[in-house]
Structure 1
Amino acid sequence: MCRFLDRTAILRNNQEASTTSAHGPWSLCTISQVEETKIVVRMLPIILSTVFMNTCMAQFQTFTIQQSMTMNRKIQNFEIPGPSIPVIPQLFQLFLIPVYDRIFVPIARKFTGIPSGIRQLQRIGVGQVLSAVSMAVAAVVESHRKSVSIKHNMVDSASPLPMSVFWLGCQFVISAMAQIFTLVGLMNFFYAESTSGLKSLSMAISWSSLAFGYFTSSVVVSVINKVSGGWLANNNLNRDKLDYFYWLLAGVSVLNFGFYLLCASWYKYKKPELKQEDPITDEKAKGITDV
């Protein structure tokens, strides 16, 4: 794979052996540059397969605010501000990351013998599955919210429904777990598979998947609105088809997971994992280690 890139490090007939700078970076590359390019190219399918998951996660940052504005947000005499609802998944992540690191990883390590608990690509795959589950749960919660509005004859009412906003916590917990598995898995995967010259770039690559996912989220909404005839076109969420939208995203997430499995099966690790590296604190670590 990518063997055609080797030609960029070969002198042509009309070139003389000299330094790369003498020939220019666009006419002759070093072997290390070629190998680093190969690494990035091999990682691209993995990156692309995680973009849609982040697109799904971006929906929770917008539609959950609209949902919360129609629900009961009071805790005794305190009312939770609707725009602050997207902070809840971040709070769950603050709690779940130590649980993952201190409980899940040691337990998984006993069964697998892998320092990181499970393989990095497996970790990303778990996040993909949890993403699909979170969208399905969101669809069920939204269906229940709409049924409550119909039952109490409040479809066009501006008053909060007799349904607690904490119903949204179910999808928030699962989506927080999905982001922990996928984002941490991506960081460790790219960091372990890259060369020392690409360590810092590998972190940026991990975040690029998140950035592209959020960037395309609005495009997805516009396309689905146009194709479906306006599932999300009404200002009244009780008359929209947000539950259908969530079910559609859950189904596409399953298909995306199949695409990810295909990409992961094609990928060949550089080395077996010998030790676990921390991509955040071990920037100067040498040697490529993974599973």
Structure 2
Amino acid sequence: MSPKAEKKIRVSGYLNNCTYFPYILQNESGGLYTADGSVDINGNPVLKSNSGNWIACPFILGTECCERLAYSGIAINLVTYLTNKLHEGNVSAARNVTIWQGTSYLAPLIGAIVADAYWGRYWTIAMFSTIFFIGMGTLTLSASVPALKPSSCVESICPSATPAQYAIFLFGLYLVALGTGGIKPCVSSFGADQFDDTDPTERLKKGSFFNWFYVSINVGSLLSSIFIVWIQENVGWGLGFGIPTLFMGIAIASFFSGTPLYRFQKPGGSPLTRMCQVLVASFRKWNVEVPRDSSLLYELPDKTSAIEGSRKLEHSDELKCLDKAAVVSDLEVKNGNLSDPWRLCTVTQVEELKILIHMFPIWATCIVFSAVNAQMPMFVEQGMVMDTTVGSFTIPPASLLTFDVISVIVGVPIYDRFLVPIARKFTGKERGFSELQRMGIGLFISVLSMVAAALVEIKRLEVARVLQLVDHKVVVPISILWQIPQYLLLGASEIFTFIGQLEFFYDQSPDAMRSLCSALSLLTIALGSYLCSFILTIVTSITTKGGKPGWIPDNLNEGHLDYFFWLLASLSFLNLLVYVFCASKYKGKKSS
């Protein structure tokens, strides 16, 4: 490309973005304003001193805590409601729970696209919170009004829910899934947006934010597993669903209360459209040679970006076939037409797609970890056939999820205040471990969790055989407290892997794709749930051939739930080996 043509490109880019350039200068010269492109709710530049940072985070963390309490108030004990109130079998109930949970983590793709392309994270959270609230109200009515729920069991006869009753219940349940799907990919990113990552001090605080964000999630879950589960099983399901509905209303109020303090990132247009533009433009120029000098590829001048709310990305040498989309052809130079994004893309736009492709192997290895976490209903079903009495108290099996949550709530401050400074001395990294190292440690701990669950089940079945309880659907006299280690280990794995995922997909994502990348992180949980459901289906199909009870029959005393846990432990270990290989090959993004 000739110097004259190159100059024309740079001047054109400058003129098209001259309104943004003074803002950059203002930030660089004064340092009083954020330099990451954030604005206030009216679209004006924001001062660092009176916006964002930790002064805005309590409202976001409070919102997430209440939302998690509401969601967990449904999710934690849903398998019990399906078996005891809607009278479903163990396998059917476990499958329905994992499918619903999978949908809850698939729906974030909808919220992410809406947030990144149109509404921004703030308004997306507001709208989908309302949908969540309506769904919670519907579930409360379904569990409270006699005509909307099946009759109680009479001796051993348990009437099934009518199609109308089941439809109303599912309508409310999947409204909750849609609502939480719109909130999930936005709220963690919106919280991280409150820290200017061009400021080293605020960037370090952002690392702590992800830790405390996950604590807020688990505080909400803890309150649900202790109080809401008890109310559901001892007072009534109507009130047990009604209280989470109230807390969802509190979550909405908390979120709006912090509006004057928030920093906002402008939506940059549809990320899916931009990715398609790169693919189409590179295909159209398949025969065009990519120049060796990457500075000759099309890009706007200085620090401006063609994508609103996004900073430029440096060119990388991988996936050069996509660079064809940024090659300025002779015809484009002759016509002076540099504005058709389906024929010519900027380097930043091309690099966005490269980043997602580089993330894919890491993303894929997180699915098996999510499958391990998705089998939590099997922990509950295991606990339902163990001795739940401790002294004069009876512990609802779902309440043992408390130990998973306590492990996180206690472990995160230890990690943040003690482990990180110690690790920092050895690794030289400001956050102690890299995101990839942190995730790998969590994957290893998850293997230990499945091993612990398998060992407990082996002991429980041994007691059942000794006491000749195999053919009886009764509780085996082994304390449910033996399940505590598997819950604690699962919680410890979450501290490393799930929080590491939040950091990884936020930090490594392009500015204008952060909601989408957060949704991709959550998508691993959805696919993990579906994978767990698929494994359950396959295991049940294979192990029940020839009239055998199978590994997971309704009477777990004649099954082999331990084999199922060993299977998950084996898959987790193989997945860890794949992850280590992929992580060793990963190259991070380079922001301009």
* Fold shared per TM-score above 0.5: yes
Unmatched 5+ stretches in structure 1: 272-286
- Secondary structure at the aligned position of 2:554 is classed as coil
Q: What residue is the counterpart of 2:161 in the other structure? A: none
Post-superposition offset of 1:189: 1.9
Q: What residue is the counterpart of 2:14 in the other structure? A: none
Partner deviation per Cα, 1:24-77 (whole Å, 9 max, x = no partner)? x44433321111111111001000011111101111x21111111111112322
Out of 388, 397, 405, the residue aligned to residue 90 of structure 1 is 405
Compared CA separation, residues 35 and 82, structure 1 to 2 (3 A): same
Q: What residue is the counterpart of 2:283 in the other structure? A: none
Out of 34, 37, 55, the residue aligned to residue 353 of structure 2 is 37
Compared CA separation, residues 17 and 49, structure 1 to 2 (3 A): farther
Partner deviation per Cα, 1:113-170 (whole Å, 9 max, x = no partner)? 2221122211111111111111111111110111111122222334422211111111
- Per mean C-alpha deviation after superposition, the further-off stretch among 75-84 and 180-189 is 75-84
Out of 468, 488, 499, the residue aligned to residue 184 of structure 1 is 499
Q: What residue is the counterpart of 1:243 in the other structure? A: 562
- Secondary structure at the aligned position of 1:162 is classed as strand
Confirm or deny that 1:172 pairs with 2:498.
no
Post-superposition offset of 1:78: 2.1
Given that residues 388 and 479 in structure 2 are in contact (C-alpha distance below 8 angstroms), is that contact kept between their aligned partners in structure 1? yes
For 1:161 and 1:99, locate their aligned partners in 2 and report how far apart those are by CA, in whole Å: 37
Unmatched 5+ stretches in structure 2: 1-317
Given that residues 64 and 85 in structure 1 are in contact (C-alpha distance below 8 angstroms), is that contact kept between their aligned partners in structure 2? no
Compared CA separation, residues 94 and 79, structure 1 to 2 (3 A): same
- Per mean C-alpha deviation after superposition, the further-off stretch among 228-237 and 135-144 is 228-237
TM-score (norm. length: structure 2): 0.43
Given that residues 473 and 557 in structure 2 are in contact (C-alpha distance below 8 angstroms), is that contact kept between their aligned partners in structure 1? no
Given that residues 473 and 555 in structure 2 are in contact (C-alpha distance below 8 angstroms), is that contact kept between their aligned partners in structure 1? no
Post-superposition offset of 1:198: 3.1
Compared CA separation, residues 135 and 17, structure 1 to 2 (3 A): farther
For 1:227 and 1:195, locate their aligned partners in 2 and report how far apart those are by CA, in whole Å: 45
Q: What residue is the counterpart of 2:475 in the other structure? A: 160
Out of 444, 465, 471, the residue aligned to residue 129 of structure 1 is 444
Compared CA separation, residues 270 and 236, structure 1 to 2 (3 A): same
Quick one: higher RCO (CA 8 Å, sep 6+), 1 or 2?
Answer: 1
Work out the percentage of aligned pairs sharing the same amino acid: 36
Confirm or deny that 1:265 pairs with 2:588.
no
Q: Which amino acid aligns with 2:577?
A: G
- Secondary structure at the aligned position of 2:476 is classed as coil
- Secondary structure at the aligned position of 1:163 is classed as strand
Out of 416, 419, 444, the residue aligned to residue 101 of structure 1 is 416
Q: Which amino acid aligns with 1:173?
A: L
Given that residues 450 and 569 in structure 2 are in contact (C-alpha distance below 8 angstroms), is that contact kept between their aligned partners in structure 1? yes
- Secondary structure at the aligned position of 1:189 is classed as helix
TM-score (norm. length: structure 1): 0.84
- Per mean C-alpha deviation after superposition, the further-off stretch among 156-165 and 68-77 is 156-165
Q: Which amino acid aligns with 1:128?
A: L
Given that residues 187 and 202 in structure 1 are in contact (C-alpha distance below 8 angstroms), is that contact kept between their aligned partners in structure 2? no
Q: What residue is the counterpart of 2:327 in the other structure? A: 10
For 1:134 and 1:269, locate their aligned partners in 2 and report how far apart those are by CA, in whole Å: 30
Q: What residue is the counterpart of 2:573 in the other structure? A: 254
Compared CA separation, residues 234 and 199, structure 1 to 2 (3 A): closer
- Secondary structure at the aligned position of 1:86 is classed as helix
For 1:7 and 1:73, locate their aligned partners in 2 and report how far apart those are by CA, in whole Å: 64
Q: What residue is the counterpart of 1:201 in the other structure? A: 516
- Per mean C-alpha deviation after superposition, the further-off stretch among 260-269 and 107-116 is 107-116
For 2:433 and 2:482, locate their aligned partners in 1 and report how far apart those are by CA, in whole Å: 31
Partner deviation per Cα, 1:211-268 (whole Å, 9 max, x = no partner)? 2212321012112333444643521111112111111111111111111111112112
For 2:362 and 2:468, locate their aligned partners in 1 and report how far apart those are by CA, in whole Å: 47
For 2:507 and 2:557, locate their aligned partners in 1 and report how far apart those are by CA, in whole Å: 47
Larger Rg: 2
Confirm or deny that 1:47 pairs with 2:367.
no
- Per mean C-alpha deviation after superposition, the further-off stretch among 229-238 and 95-104 is 229-238
Compared CA separation, residues 220 and 12, structure 1 to 2 (3 A): farther
Confirm or deny that 1:68 pairs with 2:387.
no
Given that residues 439 and 501 in structure 2 are in contact (C-alpha distance below 8 angstroms), is that contact kept between their aligned partners in structure 1? yes
Partner deviation per Cα, 1:56-105 (whole Å, 9 max, x = no partner)? 1111x211111111111123222122344434422322222112212221
Post-superposition offset of 1:208: 2.0
- Per mean C-alpha deviation after superposition, the further-off stretch among 1-10 and 61-70 is 1-10
For 1:32 and 1:213, locate their aligned partners in 2 and report how far apart those are by CA, in whole Å: 32
For 1:124 and 1:17, locate their aligned partners in 2 and report how far apart those are by CA, in whole Å: 48
- Secondary structure at the aligned position of 1:116 is classed as coil
Question: How many residues of Structure 1 are paired with residues of Structure 2 in the alignment?
Answer: 269
- Secondary structure at the aligned position of 1:114 is classed as coil
Q: Which amino acid aligns with 1:58?
A: A
